Amino acid sequence: MKQESMALFNKTKKTQIIGNVRIAGNFFSQLKGLMFESKKKFDYALVFPLPYESKSGASIHCFFVFFPIDIVFLGKNRRVVDVKESIAPFTPLYVPKKPAKFFVELPAGKAKGISVGDELEWSA
């Protein structure tokens, strides 16, 4: 998992969402995601860049994720296409309402105030 000094911003609302971003940029980090992570250690946004924009390719599960999380789905232009707040641990499947090129896993409550159509960015 690529760790850099980045923050996640809502450009539309000119607000910082969270001050620490990690990129799940390879197969293993995307496969593992937050499985077996400790809630205490999850204080960052985990960004999943996908190879193409789709609904099925952006679908997620929460097996072996032991705490609720928020998930924000973004199109190729990094505009929000779906927000799922407080998805329950061990949720078997969630498919975004529209095709996504990225999704971001956040600690529960951090997606509050993010709306469909908002533009997000992560940068140093």
How far the first Cα of the chain sits from its last, in Å, is 17
pLDDT per residue as tens, the chain (124 positions): 555 579 999 999 999 999 999 999 898 888 889 988 989 899 999 999 999 999 999 999 999 999 999 999 999 999 999 999 999 999 999 999 999 999 999 999 999 999 999 999 997 5
Q: What is the spatial distance between Cα 86 and Cα 2, in angstroms, rounded to a whole number?
A: 25
**Residue 29: what residue type?**
S
User: Structural domains in the chain?
Assistant: 2-123 (2.60.120.1140)
Contact 74, 9 (CB under 8 A): no
Contact 12, 118 (CB under 8 A): yes
Q: What is the 3-state secondary structure (H, E, C) of 61-94?
A: CCCCCCCCEEEEEECCCCEEEEEEEEECCCCCCE
